[in-house]
Amino acid sequence: MVNGYTPTSLAEALAIRAREIVTPYAGGTDLMIDERREGSYLFLHRVQEMKGIRREGELLCLGAACTYTALMESALTPALLKEAIALIAAPAIRNEGTIGGNIANGSPKADSALIFFVADASLRLASVRGERVMPIRDFYLGRKQLALMPDELIVEVLLPMTWMEHYCYEKVGARKALAISRVAFAGLMTIRDGVIQHAATAFGSVSDVIIRKPELDAMLIGKTVAQAKAVRDAYLEAYREVIVPIRGRVSAEYRKQVCVNLLTEFLSQHGI
């Protein structure tokens, strides 16, 4: 009897996933923390279709089994994602840890997932039954609850690059390396000719799922900076209502206050 599978193609991986009860092993850096070594693992590090980094028009397609280090070394990776990755754990973890694993772990503290949320990325999911593409926001159903079918794998992250250039990223950890985010914030804002073309924000480590509210950010889009200033208080108030932190290593009050502070700072950096 064997308890490990090392497929080299996606078709092979999906066939095993459909046939056996296996835990997908991408980088192992979350999985291996668990003391129990039960069941069988489906090792994904040799599945070529899950290791690519390629540009398709406005989309950057990132293989789910790409390690953080591979992304850091790619010229295609946007600066925002690199900034977030650079603060994840430490080199040894980044050498093995993958974005697919970070997403599939289902934690609101996932630092790379925060970037995929703020960018409104989608996930390409596959099984022997076929493929589907799902916005990452729909993929998270709750804490550790994912819209992943038992026979599916996350194959790629599809990252829209249109608005990635102008960003803000803040990670609040208890130290500067090997730190779990207590609050993480990512914001995108593109202003052309004094008009806000795009605005997006996301908050990690705050609630059960990363907070992303495009309907609130829409309050700013299409407005001039002056107009945005006029709705600033209403915008911040709206966020105060939707940021409902859970208590953890730090208090809920602290989490909320930091979120609001960082959001306010993000606006004022843009003159709002």
236 lines the binding site for other proteins (CB under 8 A): no
Radius of gyration of the chain (CA): 19
Residues contacting other proteins: total by CB under 8 A? 48
Considering the complex, state which of residue 40 and residue 162 has its C-beta at the smaller distance from other proteins: 40
The candidate with the shortest Cα–Cα distance to 41, out of 67, 74, 5, is 5
Q: Which of 93-101, 106-114, 161-169, 217-225 is the region at the interface with other proteins (rule: CB under 8 A)?
A: 93-101
Considering the complex, state which of residue 177 and residue 234 has its C-beta at the smaller distance from other proteins: 177
CA distance linking residue 112 with residue 33, whole number of Å: 19
50 lines the binding site for other proteins (CB under 8 A): no
96 lines the binding site for other proteins (CB under 8 A): yes
Is there a contact between 44 and 5 (Cβ–Cβ < 8 Å)?
Answer: no
Q: Which residues contact 254 (CB under 8 A, 6 or more apart)?
A: 182
258 phi, psi to nearest 5 deg: -65, -40
Strands 130-135 and 183-192, how do they pair?
unpaired
- How many other CB atoms are there within 10 angstroms of residue 31's CB atom? 16
145 lines the binding site for other proteins (CB under 8 A): no
Minimum CB distance to other proteins, residue 254 (Å): 4
138 lines the binding site for other proteins (CB under 8 A): no
45 lines the binding site for other proteins (CB under 8 A): yes
233 lines the binding site for other proteins (CB under 8 A): no
| Region class of 100: left (phi > 0), else alpha (psi between -120 and 50), else beta | alpha
Minimum CB distance to other proteins, residue 263 (Å): 10
Minimum CB distance to other proteins, residue 122 (Å): 28
| Region class of 58: left (phi > 0), else alpha (psi between -120 and 50), else beta | alpha
Interface positions with other proteins (CB under 8 A): 1-6, 25, 28-29, 31-33, 35, 37-41, 43, 45, 69, 89-93, 95-96, 170, 172, 174-180, 182-183, 249-251, 254, 257-258, 261-262, 265
